[in-house]
A and B are shown apart, each in its own frame.
Chain A
Amino acid sequence: MTKKKVILKVDELEKILEHYHRSDCWKKTKTWFAPFGGNIGERAKFLKANMYTPKPLVAADGKGKVAEFSVLQGDILKTKAAITYDPVFDFIPDEYSYYIVIPSSCSVQPKKYKQVLLARLSPIESTEDVMRQAFVTSIKFENNKSFYLPPIDGESPGEFGFLAIFEEVSHIDNKLLQSAQRVASLSLIGWHLLNAFLVNHYTRPSADDSTLRQLAYDTEWSFYE
């Protein structure tokens, strides 16, 4: 068996992800990952190496340029205080579960939003069970219902990582959020990947929407001062 060495330039991925707010970013990101092909293990390994910061971020990491905070967008929480409606995969509400913070970092600071939107992380403990398909499609960026997150250092659940589930709704009271245990923060690549996913998930353009909403706009608008 001969082995072909594949080289991927991560700085090219970073440049793609800088434009995460663009509607084509997700597609370009998927294209960048295409050389991984069906090598799911290597995809997971790459994401594990690049998704998280070494430890949850604190204000001191900003070297004086960042104000105090207790939680950031993309932080992974371990809590019993969040509420999940109609979970897609198995879920025990009374036990600690993992969640990712969805709104922007400024929105999740104290006294901003009353309730904060989360996505529950469903641990992937096997690659053979019913999660296999969701795992494979998510890590290949072909699933807009779930976002793959690699295993978290120091946390035993999630042998093969987690799926952030966007088919269900989870939220937490902001007061409780501020005291929730943070187990990981996203790196710049991880944070951009999450936002590229969110743009694709929430605001992807729809030709049908455009067709339905098209109006005969006047070319000018006039009014008297």
Chain B
Amino acid sequence: MPNSLSTININEKYNLSPSFVVDSWSQFTRKFSSASSLIPNIPVGKYIEVKDKKLVGDCFVIFRRTDFDNLNMLSSMASKVTRCLVQIDRITTTFSNNEKPEQVIQLIHEQAKLGIEFTVISSSNSNSDYFGSYVVEEDNSDLKMPKSRKDIEGKINDKEKSYSQGR
């Protein structure tokens, strides 16, 4: 399932386009062994989409620092694109074909939520002008949103609570 929402929004607002799409995690790791090998090969503002089913179309996006700062001025986008707080001068991540992709992605997600975020490193980029960011995007297609306040109000007194899940 493509990560269409983030792709569309980024494209519309910043005219970004995919550098390329890989069909699986193994294809991704064949191409990039580490974060440091990722940066020099992806043009600024381009992204990679990993279409492995387990990863649900996760994207890696490369921004120049200035681009990224501009992006963060929009709170709606800032909530979609996690901040990259650490400048690219430390190597923290190595991609491995042996690692389970969902675990790697989970790690990235957790780091993103912790505020450390996924740091993409460029050993060849000594001026540290590049930031790596990871697009955290919800798959909103199956969200069941409340339609009004009435849908939220109402109490259940049991200690054991239940709800019905439509399928």
A residues at B contact (CB < 8 Å): 1-11, 36-42, 44-46, 48-49, 88-89, 127, 130, 133-134, 136-137, 142-145, 150-151, 159-161, 204-208
B161 A7 Cβ-Cβ under 8 A: yes
Q: Which residue of A lies closest to B142 (CB)?
A: A38
* 7 extra A-B contacts, CB within 8 A, seeds A42-B144, A130-B76: A2-B167, A7-B161, A8-B160, A40-B144, A136-B138, A151-B149, A208-B116
Cα–Cα distance between A8 and B114 once the two chains are bound (Å):
27
Pull 11 A–B residue pairs with CB atoms less than 8 Å apart, ordered by A. A1-B167, A4-B164, A6-B163, A10-B159, A11-B159, A39-B143, A40-B144, A45-B153, A130-B76, A134-B79, A151-B153
A125 CB, nearest partner CB in chain B, Å: 10
A39 B116 Cβ-Cβ under 8 A: no
A38 B86 Cβ-Cβ under 8 A: no
B-chain residues with CB within 8 Å of residue A49 when the two chains form the complex: 154-156, 161
Q: Is B148 an interface residue (CB 8 A)?
A: yes
B-chain residues with CB within 8 Å of residue A3 when the two chains form the complex: 164-167
A204 B164 Cβ-Cβ under 8 A: no
CB-contact partner of A160 in B113, B142, B152, under 8 A: B152
A-chain residues with CB within 8 Å of residue B116 when the two chains form the complex: 206-208
B86 A5 Cβ-Cβ under 8 A: no
10 closest Cβ pairs, A-B complex: A41-B146, A3-B164, A38-B143, A44-B152, A49-B155, A39-B144, A7-B162, A127-B145, A130-B76, A133-B79
A173 CB, nearest partner CB in chain B, Å: 29
A-chain residues with CB within 8 Å of residue B114 when the two chains form the complex: 144, 204-206
CB-contact partner of A159 in B75, B142, B149, under 8 A: B149
Q: Is B46 an interface residue (CB 8 A)?
A: no
Cα–Cα distance between A122 and B161 once the two chains are bound (Å):
29
B121 CB, nearest partner CB in chain A, Å: 13
Cα–Cα distance between A137 and B147 once the two chains are bound (Å):
18
Cα–Cα distance between A180 and B159 once the two chains are bound (Å):
34
CB-contact partner of B161 in A10, A41, A207, A208, under 8 A: A10
B165 A39 Cβ-Cβ under 8 A: yes
